[in-house]
Amino acid sequence: MGPYTRIYGRFTGYTLQDCACEYCLYYGGKRKGCTVEYCCCLSERLQAVAREIKEKRRESL
């Protein structure tokens, strides 16, 4: 890419809908639930929650 290349739609992080358990690799379905001891995407989920709280605060101002 050259110095004058524009990149549209950069990745800004996952949303809460992206971090839903149904999309997880270790999700065993409705009956089994998650098959691992702790959530493997916990850090991404916490970042998504923090990002949404920040956006809601901006909208309320």
Long-range CB pairs of 21-27, under 8 A, 24+ apart, other chains included: none
Q: What is the pLDDT of residue 60?
A: 81
Asked if residues 38 and 6 have their Cβ atoms less than 8 Å apart, the reply is no
Please tell me the distance from the alpha carbon of residue 28 to that of residue 14, in angstroms, as a whole number. 22
In angstroms, the CA 15 to CA 1 distance is 28
Distance of CA 51 to the CA centre of its chain: 10
Mean pLDDT of the chain: 90
CB 27 within 8 A of CB 21: yes
Q: What is the rounded average pLDDT of the residues 9-14?
A: 88
